[in-house]
Amino acid sequence: MVSPAPHGPAGQRGRQYRYHRELFTALHDWERTERSIVAFTGGEGPEGLLGLDQMGHFGPHGCDLVADAVAGALAEGAAEGPGGRVAGGAAAPGAVRGGPLVLCELGSGFGGALRYTVDRLAARGIGVRGAYGIDLVAEHCAVSRRISRAQGRTAVAEICASATAVPLRDASLDLVVVTGSMPHFPDPAAVVREAARLLRPGGLFVLTEEVSLTPGGEGPSAPFRAVHPPDVFFTTPVRERLGQLERAGFTGVRRRGLTEWAAALLAERLKVLRIFRGSVAGIYGDASAELIRSTLTTARDEYLAGRLLPTLFTARRA
């Protein structure tokens, strides 16, 4: 069972907007914030942002996991035989078409993870012909469009839509990713089914579960819930997630536990926040900087206590 009960789309849209507006107020004034980030990092353009436009729990490090998983899956698929056939006779994404990938991210928010992932794929020699960011909140899409336009990204397009009803054709994508957004979906089973609908046969689904999986029915602690509200962050038992993937028609599901990696990562991110507390507060504001710190601290505590299971999933569309 998914906990708590789902809310209507309109209610969720407002809840997600208010939560992320409070957490990332500065990103709504992107041009000023970008100048502050560039002054802080000393670099310009996407590389100079250091993932500061997508400060999720895993940040850019989670996107690196996704890019590595995609590169590994494509190489493995190509090695299966002529034309990049994979188990069951399905075609590996992109391999038989001889061209760059078409992909989308479900729950793309301000678009930082999508842009970063596209760049990391390119660095691994994987071209992207089109990348769609799907987000329910119109304000998030508007900010993402401004950032993408400022960076001259013609291959990235933002679509304001529910992750359960994406206005793209059946079997039109090679790759669907979710970089930490699973807890923001009240009906994750429907999101998994939508990913399956969007993917071509043999297409790849990669998702990082940051604070969305529990070992059983028991939820996370009260301190975690104080900064991760239960009407904004939804959790699912890991066994149920595996069942959702199977019922949606995914095969070759691989689950990589990330507890040790994620706990160490969040400890390092918290250390950076402490060292550069003044600079981070100057970029995001004092209240947002403190909320980011509390968010990362309580998530790490849940990892160490075993109440949340950070995980990387990869699966193929049958």
Structural domains in the chain plus CATH codes:
9-317 (3.40.50.150)
Mean pLDDT for 11-25 is 57
Whole-number pLDDT of residue 274: 79
More confident residue, 188 or 277: 188
Q: Which helix (H) or strand (E) holds 101?
A: strand 101-106
Structure tokens at 134: 């799907």
Identify whether the C-beta of residue 212 lies closer than 8 Å to the C-beta of residue 188. Answer: yes
What does the pLDDT look like over 203-240, one tens digit per residue?
999 999 999 999 998 899 999 999 999 988 999 999 99
Distance (Å, whole) CA 223 – CA 298: 7
Q: Which amino acid is at 12?
A: Q
What does the pLDDT look like over 177-202, one tens digit per residue?
999 899 999 999 999 999 999 999 99
Distance (Å, whole) CA 62 – CA 190: 23
